[in-house]
Structure 1
Amino acid sequence: MSKNRKNKSKKTGQKLSARQLRDEILKLFKRNPKKLLNPKQISRKLKIANNTDSVQDALEKLAEHKDIRPAGDYKFKLSQDASGGDRRDAKYYEGLVDMTRSGDAYIVCEGLENDVHISARFLHTAMNGDKVKIRVWTPPGRRKPEGEVEAVLERARDHFIGTLWRYPKHAVVTIDLVPPIDVEVDISGQPSASDEDRVVVRIDEWPESHRHNPKGTVTTVLGKAGSSDIEMKTILVNNGFDLEFPEDVMREAEYLPARISQEEISRRLDIRGVTTFTVDPEDAKDFDDALSIRDLENGEVEIGVHIADVTHYVKEGTPLDKEALSRSTSVYLVDRVLPMLPERLSNDLCSLRPNVDRLAFSAIFVFNKNMKIVNRWFGKTVIHSDQRFTYEQAQERLDGKGGAFAEEVQRLGKIARHLRKQRYKNGAINFETDEVKFRLDADGAPVEVYVKERKEAHMLIEDFMLLANREVASFISMKGRMEEIPYVYRIHDEPDPDKVMELSRFAREMGFDMNVSSPESIAREYNRLARETEKRPELKLLSPLAIRTMSKAAYSSENIGHYGLGFSHYTHFTSPIRRYSDVLAHRLLERNLGSENVYRTNKAYLEEQCKHISKKERNAITAERESIKYKQVEYIEKHIGEEFDGFISGIMDRGFFVELKGLIEGMVPFETLDEPFDVADSRLRMTGVYSKKEYKMGQQVRVRIARADLAKRQIEMEWVREEAVPANGGAKAGRSRSGRRKR
């Protein structure tokens, strides 16, 4: 008998039990320690009756026990541990899942130069945004690492949007992912749920193997697909926000007392007699800040920044508090607000409404005649707002048109202008960008799109909020100068040098030279750009590019200052109704008021909270942008065939983008044009191959709306060119070329 025959399995031709199968597979790998084998190859070599699914299960179990390890392309290899090798060869990391459209993913890990690629097969149940533990290896002959998810440490979300499919004895919800996931659900408690309804499903049980379906519960039935309302809800859920508050949270909110006790008032500074008012958008319902002003006997003026005292109602560790941390922020879509707190708090108990007593956490400043701060005080107060102004009403007072409290508003405006001037003098950057707004009809459909006008009244409120945020952060930092007091800082790092150089080259192409030799000069140049756009509207295209050179502002317990504002210390203190960061800031500030009080929270845990809040803020920004894009496409649907003037806002190999007056952006595909175009390497200009006509970023063009795809949120335009393009025999129309093609 040959040596090879002796090594073959004695179980040849049999159907093995799960345990026997694992043993035989492991023996096979140990006989071939350097081979990569997939399920089909293993079945063929062992000559067993088990199907490939059984072999795959056995392989996954062996991989879980580190006997073998995945090696990509559905193949496995004997691990170093099982073959008696060095255990140090096994490398494990933690990171966040960043999924691609194909279903594969990259894991972003601290400490690794390259992101780790993981094929869809080795993600197991991990999904986009999840925090995972992974095993990493570098396949022979390759430089970039591959990996497999070992465990999901933290789920990014557990609620998803999907389509319900009812069957005689069961039901599933197909989640809109790549690849789609079927969730087994019990809909006995959802009698109104119909086949093909869009629903929100909560995943309650994840399977150990990716080949089994998770189990879940339908929490909300949205109805048939296609309506704007369902699309907005889909945007919220897909970005990780729950549409409803849990029952225990709503119950806690409803039982909170509305009456302010005399005992509570006695513990606070009572300033109900001081002139106080709010300034907010016309449609606002949650008023979380107010301003007060009064003259002091020595000729100085006292200005109070009063913030809703959310922490009086939201106690640490309660269901209400845990839910607020989980959400971390209110989300503002075009046609709705998803609040961080139940409406009982956000629109009632905490809202600084006019003509009612309210509890506040106040920052009070005394200014001398030269508008310099000579004193400051932080503490709990009880206030009474005398007037609720819209921004338009406050602006009328600033414009000298009179009205109630006109003198007080004008005096506040004067001090605000001084604060603003000082801020820009100290290096703050003017990040004024166009904000797109919509006028909606009764059904929520957009009937007008316009750029929000930013007036001095908006800046007045902003200036005093910035002042309070800066001074609170400075107070905590100074108090902890000998031994740090952990706190929530709003930080903003210096811009990325490579991105700044790219912007500078781009700006030069548009006739705007920039000095970017230092962080200080960059700030000055960005402000000069903001002023220049008033004269040259096409330069507005540079503003979003300038913002992209910047690091993302975030929350952190490590203070590095705020580059964009020019502040060495900055926090968020002024919006606790809609930001959990401010709730944390209030709690930590209160515990450190008074010369004898010093409170130091666990900094590591605080940093975890900061990272979570920053992540939820990014999710909210994404949701807001998606809702704007949806409404833009919904609006332009009614204008198919109409012509508009716009600026070239981007150039790529497939075509160029056109922005219509800062409101709506669409694409003109090269394939729709009557000649091909060469695109410069810089992507800042393009040249007609036959006409030799050159077009640059920022150049004005006229376009016609060709198509609007709501599902993809894409707008296609046609270029309306006045000049005729010379004919060229034998040319193939509709072909585009890149400037990087081989010549």
Structure 2
Amino acid sequence: MLTTKSFIKKNKIGNVLKNIREHYLRNDIFCGFDICERCSPANSYLSSTHVNNCSLFLYNHYIILDTNVILDQMDILDENVIGNVIILHTVLQEVKNRSLPMYKRLRSVIENPSRHFYVFANDHHKDCYLPQEETELINDYNDRCIRKACLWYMEHIREARFVFITDDNANRQRALSENIISVSVKDYVTHLDKAQFLEDKLAKHDFHVKVDAEGLFPPHCSTFQIHNGIKESRLYQATYHASRDNYLEGFAMVDGFEDSILLQGRSGQNRAVDGDIVAIELLNQNEWVAPSEMILEDESIADTSLEDALKKEDELKTVTHKKKGDVKPTGRVVGIIRRKWRQYCGILQQDGSDTSVYQLFVPADKKIPKIRIETRQAAALRSQKIIVAIDSWPCHSRYPNGHFVRALGKIGDQSTENEVVLLEHDVPHNQFSEEVLSCLPKLPWIITDEDVEARVDLRHIDICSVDPPGCTDIDDALHCRPIDDGNLEVGVHIADVSHFIRPGTAIDLEAAKRATTVYLVNKRIDMVPELLSSNLCSLRGGEERFAFSCIWIMDKKANILHTRFHKSIIKSKKAMTYEEAQITIDDKNRNDSIALSLRNLNMLAKILKRRRLENGALVLASPEVKIQMDSETMDPIDVEVKKLFETNSMVEEFMLLANISVAEKILASFPDCAMLRRHPEPPSTNFEPLIKAGKHLGFDIRIDTGKNLAVSLDAAVRDDNPYFNTMLRILATRCMLQAIYFPSGMYQKNEFFHYGLAVPLYTHFTSPIRRYADIIVHRLLAVSIGADATYPDLLDKRKSNHLCQNLNYRNRMAQYAGRASIAFNTHLFFRGKIQDEEGYVLYIRKNAIQILIPKYGLECTLYLAQKGEKSAFFEYNEEDQNQSCGNIVLHAFDPVTVRLSLDSNNIQHEKFTLQLVSPYIEGFSVPPLNKPSRKQKLEDTGSKSPPEAKRKKKSRKH
């Protein structure tokens, strides 16, 4: 049956246009009940044996939900206690349109047979369909369709009882007037079995508690006001980012603005949560201020009173308004365009009362404010890491309101902390589904004659891999051999993962969603199942494997004479660690084919690296640490900075060269849809800390080109501080923007440039076991050489762009997750330890000094005063960026000795605390461990302390 509806409207020039919509209706759509004799039977998970135990009703019943119940109360619907739920197609589509994450969660529940959910296509059923009235709002229309479907079910299946759950009071009253049994979510849930636990999971948009202050935050603009303001350029759409160092500051990134907009204080941030899309009003230029140089991260953790918080905000305004030299564009949040709220991991505030139903939740992420929740399980949850969701943030409440979702496990337990790291960084880490595992090849897997015929057989070549110790997902292998004309044949052989992962399959979709393998200290979250990652795709020594080979003919000056690509079969002669490969190169008694191959590769790599650096490639630095774990207890037993060998650089150079060669090939074949990687040039404002630090120490850091920056960094060397240049490079690294994946058709060619590598074209080809981007590049390369067929999505630049956005996001989250795992295990290692360590000043702040401890790759804060107080010892020089105490002056990059210990008083946010050992300042510094203090020495000898002026040390010259 076909129903049509016509719409008459006029266009801009006055012509009348007729728009006809067609809607197909059927009378054979299954209702979902196996007892029904009128409908054509189909699959349905509704169950005649499942019982919904709600004491409001003395009979078993089926549930029909409205849209907002699903959007707001998905945490309740995830519970097994609720079943036999009919999801109307009208509701399902509205959920999909309004929240894709909620839609995906709902679909997973619907597809679980044990949950007994059923989707009924009411909008295509001839007895349930209702045409929308011309003046009817879409929400009213959907409500009317839902009630119509309820009435139809009541008439159609008279043997069953139905309950309509909605939190819309008006809709509920209309339903009751039509004799539809209807209740609110809260009324229904509080009368279920185990209601005392389920009530905690109810999303709450209004807390009936005393408000913190009248009008604590300014009201938000309406959607209409925001749209008009953006249209008239009075307001700007931006992404809000909270500061990690100062909870009273945030920043907004606006497209088209070179610099971020500073948002300061209560009114400036106005209830924005990190990641929200907000509407920003730019203040008049005479109201712009400078960012604070104070570190106030602890204030957001401690339970300070509202009066103290407001006082601190006023102090901050006074300080930053005085600084007019470094002002930034300053604005305030006037509205929320789209919330980016997610579920947050953390703990209940430890000093809360177990008898109170209202609790404060402290998120693990310091950028997220505390959340007020309602729970009846406070005593049990106090020792647990839990998950909480935000529901609302009224303007009269200091904290957002939220609800408890679930407990993760005991605080401090390693498996719990791993789970927190993965959840906080949105890392997909569920077990691979049966559908995904069914895509794997059956064992034993063998190479057939057909495979050999379709590939280039390189099993006779002496190929080897060089990787970190313990690596099982070996992506790449290398070879180098002399050829007849005195040149060298060099090969990079990459695991052919795309052979096993075909486009559109379940394993392909899962790999695309995960996007990357995530490495934690004692755990790896694979992008693809272990059978592939550690076995069939891993280029293990002595095993025959499929590869995708990039082979160059080079002269001995590393000039490329010819390049070819082909799918191949290889047999790696040996899987080596970086250290083993280095020993082989250095052992002059070793002259076998592998040793000669490695020496030639190393010789060529040095030439390639020198040439790259001459072209302006940057050598940056970041402290990377390695944590040694006890093999039995899996506790950290040592923390050390990773050792680097020449062979690390050797492998890196050939991976870079392969990526560049492949990028050139796929762009030539696919000018609009090649997946490339670009590294944008940072805005000049990003380099201000680097320039300022160099200037104070007598070095001119030039940033007009990447080449000049590289030259400046090379020249910045000090004989009295061997770590100085590394420190400067660490600072330069933090000025950089993130490199991103993109399809070539979405940018102009001059925007393809990779700033850090100083190359016009780059991609990722060399790690397909752990990066999905490389799988796409393999497919593009295979098509370009005729080794595989294309498919529509591969050539769709818009779909590729959407894929790249996910890849960039997942890659960033994987990096953060890895760092968080290292931080947690470093804390475990230092628990109960107190030791003196050599460090270097990294940043000078107004109330603190940030210090890098190279031995452990740690960056810690040495506070110079108690919170809210002025230092009694140090004087901050804003102009010269130093802290002085008498003749002792501390600048950036100065060496210091500090006492390092772990403060575990706040179990949610353990932190390292530092005390200054050297230079020694009487009354502030502490004596070296196991050495008597100056005061003790004087007491032992019976001497008196000399006058203050004589105790001051001479300042160091720079």
TM-score range, shorter chain: 0.7 to 0.9
Q: Which residue of 2 aligns with 1:652?
A: 845
Offset of residue 376 of structure 1: 0.8
Query: Which letter maps to 1:681?
Result: E
Residues 1:718 and 2:915 are matched in the alignment: yes
Q: 1:322 to 1:129 in 2, by over 3 A?
A: farther
**Offset, 1:256:** 5.2
Residues 249-279 of structure 1: CA deviation (Å, up to 9, x unaligned): 5523555563333323321111111111111
Relative to the length of structure 2, the TM-score reads: 0.58
Which amino acid in the other structure matches residue 565 of structure 1?
Answer: L
Report how far residue 283 of structure 1 moved. Answer: 1.1
The match for 1:623 among 808, 813, 817 is 817
Aligned twin of 1:60: none
Counterpart contact for 1:362–1:379, Cα < 8 Å:
yes
- Counterpart of 2:611? 422
The C-alpha deviation readout for 1:307-349, integer Å capped at 9, x for no partner, is 1111111222222222222221122233332222221211112
Structure 2 letter corresponding to 1:556: F
Separation of aligned partners in 2, 1:507 and 1:289:
39
What secondary structure, in the 3-state scheme, does the structure 1 residue paired with 2:469 have?
coil
The answer on whether the counterparts of 2:616 and 2:707 sit within 8 Å (CA) in structure 1 is yes
Residues 1:669 and 2:855 aligned together = no
Task: Name the SS for the 1:650 alignment partner.
Answer: strand
State the Cα distance separating 1:507 from its structure 2 match.
1.5
Conserved? CA contact 1:98–1:106, under 8 Å: yes
Q: Report what 1:235 is aligned to.
A: 421
What is the SS of the residue equivalent to 2:865?
helix
Find 2:369's aligned residue among 178, 183, 188.
178
Percent identical:
25
Greater Rg over alpha carbons, structure: 2
Q: Contact conserved, 2:852 with 2:859, CA < 8 A, in 1? A: yes
2:636 matched to which residue of 1? 446
Comparing 289-298 and 616-625, the one that deviates more: 289-298
Write out per-residue CA displacement over residues 608-634 of structure 1, whole angstroms, 9 at most, x where no aligned residue: 222221122221222222223333333
- CA 1:308 to 1:160, structure 2 compared with 1: closer, same or farther past 3 Å? farther
Retained in 1: the 8 A contact 2:864–2:874?
yes
Q: Which amino acid aligns with 2:613?
A: Y
Query: Which residue of structure 1 aligns with residue 496 of structure 2?
Result: 309
Supply the distance in 2 between the matched residues of 1:79 and 1:729 (Cα, whole angstroms). 70
Alignment check: 8 A CA contact 1:161 1:237 kept: no
Q: 1:128 to 1:580 in 2, by over 3 A?
A: farther
Q: 1:501 to 1:107 in 2, by over 3 A?
A: closer
For residue 468 of structure 1, what is the aligned residue in structure 2? 658
Question: Given the alignment of the two structures, is residue 681 of structure 1 paired with residue 681 of structure 2, yes or no?
Answer: no
Deviation of 1:126 (Å): 9.7
SS of aligned partner of 1:715 = strand
Residues 1:718 and 1:610: Cα distance change in structure 2 (over 3 Å): same
Q: Is the 8 A contact 1:118 1:148 kept in 2?
A: no
Comparing 340-349 with 488-497, greater Cα deviation is found at: 488-497
Question: Structure 1 residues 314 and 92 mapped into 2: Cα distance closer, same or farther (>3 Å)?
Answer: farther
- Quote the Cα distance in structure 2 between the aligned partners of 1:547 and 1:527: 14
Alpha carbons 1:285, 1:347 under 8 Å: kept = yes
Question: Which amino acid in 2 is paired with 1:424?
Answer: L
Aligned in 2, Cα 1:616/1:94: closer, same or farther, shift over 3 Å?
Answer: farther
Q: Structure 2 vs 1, CA of residues 261 and 630 (structure 1 numbering), >3 Å: closer, same or farther?
A: same
Q: Which residue of 1 aligns with 2:808?
A: 614
Q: 1:388 aligns with which of 538, 563, 575?
A: 575
Q: Relative to structure 1, is the Cα distance of residues 374 and 597 closer, same or farther in structure 2, using a 3 angstrom cutoff? A: farther
Distance in structure 1 (CA, Å) of the matches to 2:706 and 2:270: 45
Residue correspondence of structure 1 range 524-603 to structure 2 within 5 A: 524-529=711-716, 536-557=722-743, 558=747, 559-594=751-786, 601-603=795-797
Q: 1:156 to 1:554 in 2, by over 3 A?
A: farther
- Bigger mean CA offset, 506-515 vs 328-337: 506-515
Change over 3 Å in CA distance of 1:679–1:314 after alignment to 2: same
Letter in 1 for 2:883: M
Instruction: Provide the rounded CA distance (Å) in 1 between the counterparts of 2:818 and 2:346.
Output: 18
| Matched-pair contact (CA < 8 Å) for 1:391–1:457 | yes
CA–CA separation in structure 2 for the residues paired with 1:271 and 1:677: 67
Q: Pick from 600, 611, 617: which aligns with 1:411? A: 600
Aligned length: 639
* SS of residue matched to 1:398: helix
Structure 1 residue runs of 5 or longer lacking an equivalent are 1-16, 23-55, 58-69, 186-193, 731-743
Shift of 1:108: 4.5
CA, structure 1 residues 464+157, in 2 after alignment: closer, same or farther (shift >3 Å)? farther
Shift in Å, 1:286: 0.6
**Contact map agreement 1:175 1:182 (CA 8 A) in 2:** no
Within 2, Cα distance between the matches of 1:625 and 1:346?
22
- Give the direction of change, closer, same or farther, for the CA distance of 1:499–1:77 in structure 2 (3 Å limit): closer
Amino acid at match of 2:727: L
TM-superposed CA distance for 1:597, in Å, is 9.0
Query: Following the alignment from structure 2 to structure 1, what is the Cα–Cα distance between the partners of residues 451 and 344?
Result: 40
Deviation at 1:718, TM superposition (A): 1.5
RMSD: 4.7
SS in 2 for 1:588: helix
Structure 2: gaps of 5 or more residues: 1-167, 174-204, 207-214, 288-329, 349-353, 395-399, 924-944, 949-958
Paired AA for residue 543 in structure 1: R
Q: Residue 576 of structure 1 aligns to a residue in which SS? A: coil
Contact 1:114–1:145 (CA under 8 A) maintained in structure 2: no
1:510-559 CA-partner distances (Å, limit 9, x unpaired): 34344445432112222344x76897223432121111222222222235
1:276 to 457, 463, 466: 463
CA 1:311–1:694 in structure 2 vs 1: closer, same or farther (change >3 Å)?
same
Q: TM-score scaled to structure 1, two decimals?
A: 0.73
Cα 1:77–1:715 change in 2 (3 A) is closer
